[in-house]
């Protein structure tokens, strides 16, 4: 599961890390990225094959939807059913795959009496790159919505005490395959990460999407 995450790296850092070209959009760093917000995402341009860094809305709207307001918001997609779930199968089959950079993500551990928020980050200090799918929706009035969803898989041993699911975290050598720059077994990438992760408890301020500051990551 992934319902909130941190996206605080500046644009120039993401361009260098993910080797993108073309215009770079402007956005403000956030320590509490929430569904329906625009987030930096890397896609392969369908015409040129170049990697582009774009802002897409978190919460996938399928291209066949008549009205995006009536579609159930999907922020996560189970890796096991991408090819069969109507919401995601077109994007998966047509290689509308993307990379979603994150500094960390939040997970809520269910305990007696409530839920305790935790932060999760790579132990090596590097950003996490989630596997995602994207879609483009166009309304009759010409309105265009480009949106994405984060793919999840079974949690690894470190994260299993928090939640049974985790985002699919891709290593650099997997990025070209996932983006469709080379052929190979894409489904084989959709597995629990073998990277080392840090997990720490954070304050309940993260529960409110209006709270957005680096202090949300402070350990309690």
Q: Which residue among the candidates 50, 80, 98, 107 is catalytic per the annotation?
A: 107
206 by Cβ neighbours in 10 Å (0-12 / 13-18 / 19+) ranks as: buried
Per-residue pLDDT in tens (0 to 9) along the chain, 220 residues: 689 999 999 999 999 999 999 999 999 999 999 999 999 999 998 888 999 999 999 999 999 888 888 888 899 999 999 999 999 999 999 999 999 999 999 999 999 889 999 999 999 999 999 999 999 999 888 899 999 999 999 999 999 999 999 999 999 999 999 999 999 999 999 999 999 999 999 999 999 999 999 999 999 9
- Domains in the chain, please, with CATH? 4-104+127-193 (3.90.1680.10)
Residue that is written with structure tokens 């997990």 in the block: 199
Q: What is the pLDDT of residue 60?
A: 96
2 tagged catalytic: yes
pTM: 0.96
107 tagged catalytic: yes
Whether residue 68 contacts residue 145, with contact meaning beta carbons closer than 8 Å, is answered with yes
Q: How many residues does the chain have?
A: 220
Q: Which residue in 208, 180, 177 sits closest to 49, CA to CA?
A: 180
Q: What is the pLDDT of residue 142?
A: 87
Q: For residue 6, how many other CB atoms are within 10 A of its CB?
A: 25
């Amino acid at each position: 599961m992934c319902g909130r995450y941190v996206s605080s790296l500046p644009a120039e850092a993401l361009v260098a890390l993910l080797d993108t070209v073309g215009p770079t959009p402007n956005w403000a760093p956030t320590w509490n990225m929430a569904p329906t917000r625009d987030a930096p995402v890397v896609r392969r341009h369908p015409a040129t094959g170049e990697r582009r860094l774009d802002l897409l809305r978190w919460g996938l709207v399928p291209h066949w939807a008549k009205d995006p307001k009536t579609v159930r918001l999907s922020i996560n997609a189970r890796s096991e059913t991408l090819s069969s779930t109507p919401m995601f199968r077109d994007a998966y089959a047509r290689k509308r795959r993307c990379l979603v950079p994150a500094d960390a993500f939040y997970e809520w551990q269910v305990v007696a009496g409530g839920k305790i928020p935790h932060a999760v980050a790579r132990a090596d200090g590097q950003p996490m790159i989630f596997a995602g799918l994207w879609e483009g929706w166009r309304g009759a009035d010409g309105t265009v919505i480009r949106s994405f969803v984060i793919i999840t898989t079974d949690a690894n041993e470190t994260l299993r005490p928090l939640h049974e699911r985790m985002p699919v975290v891709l290593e650099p050598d997997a990025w070209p395959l996932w983006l469709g720059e080379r052929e190979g077994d894409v489904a084989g990438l959709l597995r629990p990460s073998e990277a080392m992760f840090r997990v720490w408890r954070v304050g309940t301020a993260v529960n409110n999407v209006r709270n957005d500051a680096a202090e949300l990551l402070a350990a309690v």
